[in-house]
Structure formats: structure tokens, C-alpha cells
Structure 1
């Protein structure tokens, strides 16, 4: 036996190469190296799916998107009822075979099951007709004496009767998939005997405020500090869209603290929105944390204001997270252009803006190649809507005065007074 032998080699197994997770390929850039607003919006929406629907009571589902076709469960009215004072009758009992009026009918006080042949039951408006009755003989069409009704005129089947299902027939389509469960729709469903609907839940939005120099409103400011306005404004804007909103403030640029706050909030978030202070350090700290805990897309978008855009899917569940610029105007415009469509996507609703047209009262200027969104205020004069650009030097005051964004498309550089311009309405859903 040999003391030394060639050891048996294990078969070589190719190790499976596991690719690092990454976001889908982003849209192509234009000649200026920018991503178009339309492409960026479509890209973000492709990364977010609508929330799964479930059954809710009508009041819980108010203002949410219906995810099923809903038909009436009952007829309204459910039973045929009398329209006038008179007598419930069977129309065929009112005439002889030759068409002449019968002499009399028996007036009965009550009916056990069906209206007897040749009988008349006194009814008032709204009373349910007994089985067998198909018309109401008005009280003026007969005289009654000693329990017998002598006919003066006849009625045909269905006359003076509010038929079962006359207002709403059983099985009538009430709402279709994609409709909004408004207060009027709730009344419609409740009146049709329906107490629940399959709807998409309200998106849960966590607005996280960060930044070394931000303090809560009401706190005395030290030199270099600013009151935190952005996170309050964005939280209210998200609530106006229909979301359930949680606002969390960390007011620091410490990355570990920010990371802990974000990860703690993901359990109750369908969308996270970052609202930082105005410094570059605030923005960079948040971006660094997003890259550490998720997949991040950074883009320069052909839009003013708000050209710098950062989006990510963070945490194990890949919760969508949108970072807003620190400037209040840029933050608010970015919310309406990108965050609002994301919220509407989660709700399963139309993601487009509320467009309109207005007549410019002054000269409007833009830069070719960029979507320029000016702040504006509209005034309606009879059938014509005029829009004036709001140019207050105070950013938050400028937003407070505005009710539309004036949309200057990429190919529009100048709009003269009296010319029409596209607007996006900010208020009202």
C-alpha cells in the first residue's frame, strides 16, 4: 500500500453569481443631459404599485377608489306603493267582459295574503299594495256605501302606482371599478342596501423633517436657525390628496439618527417624503442614508424649480421614498409634479394634474428646453379666466397667494399679455 496517494478531488461547481439588486434602467437623457418631466414621472410611477384593495364600511371608504363593479342589491321602492288616496284594486275586476264598468266592488279592511277577486282595499299615498293588486282607484272614482264601492271611472293596470323598482331596479349598475366613493355615492349605495365596498386604502405617508438648523414653529429662533415650514406644508398637502399622514421631525444631520428614524417609520409607511432644510449638508445627509438602506435614483430633470430629484426604494419592503428640495417653492412644486402622482398611483386613481387654460395678464418668460412652473393666481370674469404671475419675494407668501401653477412647456419661451396659457390647479380635487 502506498504511503502517499493522490487525494480525490471534489468536482468543481460553478458558483452562482448573485447580482446586486438595482433599479430598472432609467429613461434616456436629452441633448442637455437632463431627464424630461414626463419621462421622470413615468419612471417613478413604474416603480410603485397601487395598494391592495379590501372591503371597508361605506364611511371608512369615503373618497377612496372603488375596485369593483357594484350593482343594486334591492329594488327601490322595494314594493309597489300607492301614489294617491283611494283603493288598491285588480284592474281586470273593474270591467265586465263587454268592457262595461262593474256595478260594485267589495271594500275590505284588511288582506291576509292576496287581494280577493272583486275586492278593493283602502290605501293612502305610500302604502304597499297587497299581492294581486296592480292599480289604485282614486277615491274620487267611486262612491262607497255599506262596504260596497260603486265605480264612476275605471283605471288601467299600473295607474296611480309607484311600481317596485321604478326608481332603481334590482341589479342596476351603481358604481364601476375606478369610481370615487364620494358622499353622494355613499348615499346611493346605502339606499340600495349596500353597507360595504371594495376600495383601496388611504396611502400612509410619513413626512420626515431633517436638518441641523430647523426648529419647530413657536420655538424662539437662535442665530442661523429657521422655523420648520416645509414639513408642515407638505404634510398638509399630502392630507389634501387623501392620504393618512404622519409627520416626524429629527432636526439633525446625524446619519445614524436619520437612518434609525426612517427604518422605524417604514412599518407604517406606503410612501416616505423627506423635507430637509435649505442647506446642501441637509440634502447630502439624507441622500447618503437613502443609499445605505435602499436603491436610489438621482436625476437632473428639465424642470424649474426643482431640477434636482432623488427617489428611492428603501428598507426590506422597498418602500418608495421621495426627497424634496429644501427651498419651499421647489419643495411644493416637486410635491405636485411627482409626489401627488405617486399618491394617486397608490390610491389607484388618475395620476394626472387638474389642467386648465387661462389668459395671461402680463408677460411670462421661460427657458427653452425646460418645463417652467410659475406660481399664479387666477380670477374668473364671467366665462373667461385670467391668470397673473405671483412674484412675492417671500417664498412662502408667494405660495400662499397662488392657486395655480402656470405651465410653460419646454418649447415655450414667451407668453404675451392676452395670450392663453396652460395652468395646473392647486386646490380642490
Structure 2
């Protein structure tokens, strides 16, 4: 009998997260900061919008001049000029006057509202489309009249200065992941650079002499390498920059040298395969003694977890910088489930995020039979979650090779260690993958 202790899922995750330190902050150009995490609050320095401007193509007017205007009794105003986006000098709108104005153009002095061109006859000398095109090419634009058929209250169709944000407002909090809307806001308030934690660089290696790259011909006994593709995609989905290394053959020296070559571009290493008890479990062979040969504190601990799938796991650090390494099992479902439970949180921790786990909800089991689960192990089944109904339906079986079922799933159904039989309707935790 082996005296190797059995780790719980929570103990293994706590060990990983207790060893991970967020990456050091750097200053990045805005165009390079997408996907990174802010390390400081960003406050607004300029109003947004920076000036009162029109939200429509139309005419800038005084409200008293169009009060009571209708189709039968239009207000007739003298057009004194054009105001285009980016205009510098602006005409002053006086009593009985209007200025043609384009969307985004500053509201000229004297004007209190904008009348959309659709509420007018388009001005003397042509229809609305003709007049507005002419305005684009004739910045002076004085002359002629416009008939306004509807009244406009003060501020109508005007974006007020500072109506979005004002100087001193908090634009973004530290800890915010910078997606497209956040990048857009930073640009809009004039930030050219931002201080962030960089996206972690994750190197994914699969092991096995039987593995062939997709697109190549399969010989007898060979299979396609799906794990490295799935895990690299999962790393990118978690927010990392992923580097996928082609499958390494079952040779400990080759694997070790490959890993050493990858250290230069890795904040985290992930291997898949070769962590069980077979004769060709090269990851254990290559890395089990690394702590004796590298700097003190390095080394990979291979352990058994009370979970299904994904019982064999490895974790530690390697190389002079003590780069974290997670060794995952080789079966596709075991590998992916292990990534979601352990690697994704590690990536999010490197990013400096406080919420590192996928969201978990409770749902009623929807099944046509009782689901069995091994006692003392936490089982993770693939499922489809119905948020509206508050239910979850298993897909596929419990086999760790069922890739097709994994592709249909949008969640993991968690059967805890103390449940060996889950009846239909049983409330269980569900880890949402979408």
C-alpha cells in the first residue's frame, strides 16, 4: 500500500494560489494594454464631452425663435453660416437666426438647442440631403433661410460639456481588466499610456510519442494532439498570452531540455500527460529531481487528488526564476477540467485579480436516472446549464476521453465527496464555463 497522501481539490488549489505572486506592473502604450489589469485608479483630467456639441445634423437655434413652430406655421430663420465638427471660429446666433450644424460640432454662441434637419425644409435652395452635403463643403454657408416645423426646448439634441464625465471623476478602478470599452474611455480622456500588470505568458507542452499534429496522417496507434490546442486556447480565454509547443516524445532528456528552452518566455508552464504511474510517465521522470539540481526552493511535487477526473497532478517551480509549473494528466477531459480548476485561477492570480475562479451557481439535476459518484472523490461531470429553469443536464458519460461531450458542455456539474448517488432534482453546484 502506498503511503502517498491524498490531497483534496481545495488543498491543491490553495497550495497553488499560495505560491503565485502577481506579475510586476509596467507602463504600456494604450494600444498594447488590452487584456491587462490596471494597478492604479484612473481619474478624469478633461471633461467628456469637452464642450457642448450637437448630437444631430441640423440647425443651431435660439429656443424662443422656434417656440410654437408647426407645419402650418413654421418659424422662418436666416441661415448665418455652417458649423462642422472641428470648427474653430464659430458664428454667433442672434434673434431670428440659425446656423447649420453637423453631428459632433460645437454649439455656437447664442444657440440653445439643435433642430434636426428632418424637422425643417432643409433650407433655401434644395432638399435636406442637398443642403447638408453643401454644408460639408462650404464652411462659411451664410445666406438663405430655413423653415422649422417643430419647436425645440433648451438643450434639445445637445451633448452638454461634462455630461459623460467631469475632471476629478473616477474613470476606472484599479483591478479593472482593460477591454475595448475601457481602452476607448482611456483614449477619450486623453490617456496615452497606462500602468498595468502585463498579460501572463503561458507555455503549454503536451507529451507522448503517440501524438501527431492535426493535418498530418495518422499511423496505427497514433492520435492527434488535441490537449495542447485546447489548453492554449483556454489560456488565452483566461487572459494570458499563450505559446503552444508541439508534442514532445516520451524521452525525459528531450522534455527537460524543451522546458528549459521555454523558460525564457514563460511566466507559467503547463504540461499535459506523463504524470501517472506508467512506465513512460516522462514528466515525473524529467522533473521529479529538478529541485536537487536547480536553486533551492525549486521542484515539482507530484500528488494524487481526491477528484474525478484528474486524480494525478503535479505542481511546483522550475529554473532560476522559480517559474511555476503545473503538470496535468493526459486524458483530454482530465486535462481540461484540471485547467479550469487550477491553471485558470493561477493565470488570474498572476494578473493580480482577486476573483480568480469561474462563477458557481446552484442548479437542480435534470436526468433520467440516478448519477453515481465514487465516495471520497469530488466528481466533475460535463453539463448544459439552463439558467431560466434553474436546472443542469449532464452530457456524455464520466469517461475522461469523451471530447465530443466536452465540446457540447457549458458547465461542470460538481458532485461532492460525500455523495455517491445523485437523484434527479438534487441541487448541486455548477461551475459556469461560458
TM-score of the superposed pair, with normalisation by structure 2: 0.72
Q: CA offsets per residue over residues 328-368 of structure 1, 9 Å max, x none? A: 22211111111111111111222112212322122223234
Partner of 1:417: 424
Q: CA offsets per residue over residues 17-37 of structure 1, 9 Å max, x none? A: xxxxxxxxxxxxxx9942222
Partner of 2:231: 234
C-alpha change, 1:79 and 1:32, in structure 2 (3 Å) is same
Aligned partners of 2:24, 2:31: CA distance in 1, in Å? 19
| Structure 1 residue 268, shift from structure 2 partner | 0.3
Partner of 1:385: 391
Alignment of 1:101-120 (within 5 A): none
Unmatched 5+ stretches in structure 1: 1-30, 90-106, 139-154
Q: Which stretch of structure 1 is more off in the superposition, 47-56 or 292-301?
A: 292-301
Answer yes or no: is 1:357 the counterpart of 2:362.
yes
Partner of 1:166: 163
C-alpha change, 1:389 and 1:268, in structure 2 (3 Å) is same
Alignment of 1:70-149 (within 5 A): 70-81=42-53, 85=59, 122-124=98-100, 128=106
| Structure 1 residue 53, shift from structure 2 partner | 2.1
> Is the 2:114–2:158 contact (alpha carbons within 8 Å) kept by the matching residues of 1?
no
> Is the 2:270–2:326 contact (alpha carbons within 8 Å) kept by the matching residues of 1?
yes
Answer yes or no: is 1:189 the counterpart of 2:183.
no
Alignment of 1:276-425 (within 5 A): 276=273, 279-282=278-281, 283-288=283-288, 290-291=290-291, 292-293=293-294, 294-349=298-353, 350-362=355-367, 363-378=370-385, 380=386, 382-391=388-397, 394-425=401-432
> Is the 2:395–2:405 contact (alpha carbons within 8 Å) kept by the matching residues of 1?
no
Aligned partners of 1:158, 1:254: CA distance in 2, in Å? 74
Aligned partners of 2:391, 2:312: CA distance in 1, in Å? 32
C-alpha change, 1:158 and 1:288, in structure 2 (3 Å) is closer
The two structures, once aligned, show a CA RMSD in angstroms of 3.9
1:53 aligned to which of 16, 21, 25: 25
Aligned partners of 1:173, 1:36: CA distance in 2, in Å? 42
Partner of 2:269: 272
Partner of 1:243: 240
Aligned partners of 1:109, 1:353: CA distance in 2, in Å? 58
Q: CA offsets per residue over residues 91-114 of structure 1, 9 Å max, x none? A: xxxxxxxxxxxxxxxx9989x999
Q: What SS does the corresponding residue of 2:191 show, helix, strand or coil?
A: coil
| Structure 1 residue 243, shift from structure 2 partner | 1.6
Aligned partners of 1:129, 1:406: CA distance in 2, in Å? 58
Partner of 2:118: none
> Is the 2:290–2:299 contact (alpha carbons within 8 Å) kept by the matching residues of 1?
yes
Aligned partners of 1:114, 1:248: CA distance in 2, in Å? 61
| Structure 1 residue 417, shift from structure 2 partner | 0.7
Aligned partners of 2:286, 2:403: CA distance in 1, in Å? 23
**What is the number of residues matched between the two proteins?**
370
C-alpha change, 1:289 and 1:253, in structure 2 (3 Å) is farther
Q: What SS does the corresponding residue of 2:167 show, helix, strand or coil?
A: coil
Aligned partners of 1:375, 1:158: CA distance in 2, in Å? 55
| Structure 1 residue 75, shift from structure 2 partner | 0.9
Q: Which stretch of structure 1 is more off in the superposition, 339-348 or 283-292?
A: 283-292
| Structure 1 residue 317, shift from structure 2 partner | 0.7
Q: What SS does the corresponding residue of 1:281 show, helix, strand or coil?
A: coil
Aligned partners of 2:173, 2:45: CA distance in 1, in Å? 15
| Structure 1 residue 261, shift from structure 2 partner | 1.2
| Structure 1 residue 129, shift from structure 2 partner | 5.1
C-alpha change, 1:421 and 1:389, in structure 2 (3 Å) is farther
C-alpha change, 1:373 and 1:32, in structure 2 (3 Å) is farther
TM-score of the superposed pair, with normalisation by structure 1: 0.73
| Structure 1 residue 79, shift from structure 2 partner | 1.9
Q: What SS does the corresponding residue of 2:175 show, helix, strand or coil?
A: coil
Aligned partners of 2:204, 2:167: CA distance in 1, in Å? 46
Aligned partners of 1:212, 1:157: CA distance in 2, in Å? 75
Structure whose alpha-carbon radius of gyration is higher: 1
> Is the 2:81–2:91 contact (alpha carbons within 8 Å) kept by the matching residues of 1?
no
Q: What SS does the corresponding residue of 2:269 show, helix, strand or coil?
A: strand
C-alpha change, 1:66 and 1:310, in structure 2 (3 Å) is same
